[in-house]
Structure 1
Amino acid sequence: MLQEIARQTAVAAHTVRLHRELRQTRQQLVTAQAEERRRVSRALGDGLGAQLAALLIQADTTRQNLQTNPDTAVAEIQSLKTGTRTAVQTVRALVQSLENGNR
């Protein structure tokens, strides 16, 4: 009978340890998810968002120059293409980072 009580006590202690580990693992997962959301938010807002805002401003300037200074507008269009390529590369890098789970 004493052995049975000892066995049940050991099982209960093991169950408590497993439950504690599970809670800790869940908390680590929640923390990791929150950190990843912040990282993606910064990458989108600070990086890509700024790039796209600059492209919008540049596109407006180019539109204005089309009638008044076509040569300048042509050069600005090339710059817009370059900026757009850079933004696309930023998106691809961010997506790849998310797919690979890299930080």
Structure 2
Amino acid sequence: MTTKITFVVDNPSDPAAFESAYARVRELAGTLPLLQRLESATVWPREDGSPTPAHRTLDLHFSDYADASAAVGTPVAGELFQRLLATGTPFTALFCDVEPSEHGHTVVE
């Protein structure tokens, strides 16, 4: 089963500064060994202007759990985590099994 690592990044106190630092985080993520696909997304603002539950997500797709685990043990991943932590913006990182759809296609949600 395909594995993805999902980062859910909270709302930063200074969005412009966060975005400036995030550019390098995304760049590093794209160089992780065994990475098959990268998806980076900005959370849409709420129509009423109230805070969203998160600012960004970053999904890193690997062929399996072993490849994902190997990738996070590399120096590149260490730098990625350090740079993300240095933004001062809290985040959650999740390892997930991506379940195939009933039609045999991988559905990414």
| Structure ranking higher on relative contact order (CA contacts 8 Å, 6+ apart) | 2
Structure 1 length-normalised TM: 0.30
Higher-Rg structure is 1
- Structure with the bigger percentage of strand: 2
Structure 2 length-normalised TM: 0.28
